[in-house]
């Protein structure tokens, strides 16, 4: 018989481990919550601004700026031309002196009515007759060393526009005869009914003068003159010069039976241009 094995001691029966109760997750502190909210808000603002910026960027057109020459030769060109006047303006009227203001006014009114009638008889329209001056004032005498009123003077004048320059002399004669010794005729001005007449030619002459000056300067400096960079009409440098109109006309006295000769002449138009030329 085989020897018997010693009996093994019995293993104690272990009870299963008792499960630990689950622990509740720790609550975040108020500082952590505030930080998370702040980060979220900043992120949302950044995204919003980015979207807005992209929207604006899509609406803006960027233009490429090419290289341009901003310096060169600056010159002041002057040009003249002549125009033929086709209308005239003359001041006519009356002046009367009397011992009283009412008497002077009455005499001037009677003479002025005669002048106006002569103007209308010569074909002058009411719209071309405009009162330019009227006054009644005392006349003083200082011969005695003190101021003394010796009478009163009444003056009444009108500005007359004459659209046919050939009739100026006839109208002067007619108003003189109508006003008699009370008649007043002052200054005649000739002009063109078209203000642009002669201006185009004067501007072309001014541009030609400017180009000639610039060529001379460029040649002396050893440069080649290029195209104009800027052109300004009516000014040179910092001063502004308006186009000027000059004319000469004579008003000559003649015999009693001779018509007054009037010469309208020509109207001179002057223009200046400020031009800057590029150089190479």
Residue of 277, 142, 272, 158 lying closest to 223 (CA atoms): 277
The answer to whether position 118 is within a domain reads: yes
| Boundary of a domain, candidates 166, 191, 216 | 191
* 8 pLDDT above the threshold of 80: no
The answer to whether position 33 is within a domain reads: no
* 14 pLDDT above the threshold of 60: no
Q: Are residues 143 and 211 in the same domain?
A: no
Query: What is the pTM for the complete model shown?
Result: 0.57
Is the alpha carbon torsion for 180, 184, 189, 194 positive or negative?
negative
In percent, the amount of the chain with pLDDT more than 70 equals 67
The answer to whether position 187 is within a domain reads: yes
| Per-residue pLDDT at 33 | 54
Answer whether 83's CB lies under 8 Å from 197's CB. Answer: yes
The answer to whether position 18 is within a domain reads: no
**Average per-residue pLDDT in the chain?**
78
Instruction: Name the more confident of 82 and 56.
Output: 82
* 149 pLDDT above the threshold of 70: yes
| Boundary of a domain, candidates 191, 207, 231 | 191
**Per-residue model confidence as pLDDT tens digits over 206-257:** 999 999 999 999 999 999 999 999 999 988 865 555 555 555 444 443 444 5
| Per-residue pLDDT at 251 | 42
Residue 204 structure tokens: 């072309």
Q: Which residues pair with 271 in a beta bridge?
A: 79
CATH number at residue 214: 3.30.110.170
Q: What is the CA radius of gyration of the chain?
A: 50
Q: Are residues 132 and 170 in the same domain?
A: yes
The residue written with tokens 């330019």 in the block is 132
Q: Are residues 203 and 181 in the same domain?
A: no
Rounded to whole angstroms, the Cα distance separating 153 from 99 reads 9
The H or E element spanning position 279 is strand 267-279
Domain limits at 211?
73-83+195-255+263-279
The DSSP letter of residue 169 is H
Q: Are residues 150 and 218 in the same domain?
A: no
Answer whether 167's CB lies under 8 Å from 192's CB. Answer: no
**Per-residue model confidence as pLDDT tens digits over 37-55:** 555 554 544 444 443 333 3
* 18 pLDDT above the threshold of 80: no
Residue of 181, 36, 172 lying closest to 94 (CA atoms): 181
Residue 22 structure tokens: 């689950």
On the CB side of 150, CA atoms within 13 Å amount to 9
**Per-residue model confidence as pLDDT tens digits over 107-124:** 999 999 999 999 999 999
Q: Are residues 95 and 171 in the same domain?
A: yes
CATH number at residue 143: 3.30.70.2970
Residue 170 structure tokens: 């006839």
The H or E element spanning position 76 is strand 73-83
Residue 267 structure tokens: 């109207």
Q: Are residues 77 and 209 in the same domain?
A: yes
* 63 pLDDT above the threshold of 50: no
- In Å, how far from its chain's centre is CA 163? 30
| Per-residue pLDDT at 34 | 53
Instruction: Name the more confident of 57 and 227.
Output: 227
The answer to whether position 167 is within a domain reads: yes
Q: Are residues 222 and 170 in the same domain?
A: no
Q: How would residue 178 be classed by pLDDT, with cut points 50, 70 and 90?
A: very high
Counting the structural domains of the chain, the total is: 2
Rounded to whole angstroms, the Cα distance separating 167 from 119 reads 11
């Amino acid at each position: 018989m085989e020897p018997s094995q010693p009996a093994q001691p019995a293993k104690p029966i272990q009870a299963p481990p008792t499960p630990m109760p689950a622990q509740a997750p720790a609550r975040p502190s108020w500082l952590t919550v505030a930080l998370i909210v702040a980060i979220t808000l900043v992120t949302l603002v950044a995204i919003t601004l980015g979207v807005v910026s992209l929207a604006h960027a899509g609406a803006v057109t960027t233009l490429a700026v090419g290289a341009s020459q901003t310096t060169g030769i600056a010159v002041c060109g002057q040009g003249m031309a002549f125009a033929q006047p086709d209308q005239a303006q003359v001041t006519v009227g009356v002046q009367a002196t009397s011992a009283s203001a009412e008497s002077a006014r009455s005499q001037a009114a009677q003479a002025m009515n005669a002048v106006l009638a002569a103007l209308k008889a010569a074909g002058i329209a009411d719209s071309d007759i405009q009162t330019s001056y009227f006054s009644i004032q005392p006349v003083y005498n200082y011969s005695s060393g003190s101021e003394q009123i010796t009478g009163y003077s009444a003056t009444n004048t009108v500005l007359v526009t004459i659209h046919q320059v050939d009739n100026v002399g006839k109208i002067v004669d007619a108003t003189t005869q109508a006003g008699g010794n009370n008649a007043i005729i002052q200054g005649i001005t000739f002009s063109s009914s078209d203000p642009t007449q002669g201006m185009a030619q004067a501007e072309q002459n001014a541009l030609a003068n400017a180009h000639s000056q610039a060529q001379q300067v460029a040649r002396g400096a050893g440069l080649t003159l290029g195209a104009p960079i800027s052109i300004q009409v009516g000014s040179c440098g910092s001063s502004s010069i308006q186009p000027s109109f000059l004319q000469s006309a004579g008003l000559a006295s003649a015999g009693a039976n001779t018509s007054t000769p009037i010469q309208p002449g020509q109207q001179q138009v002057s223009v200046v241009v400020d031009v800057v030329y590029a150089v190479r």
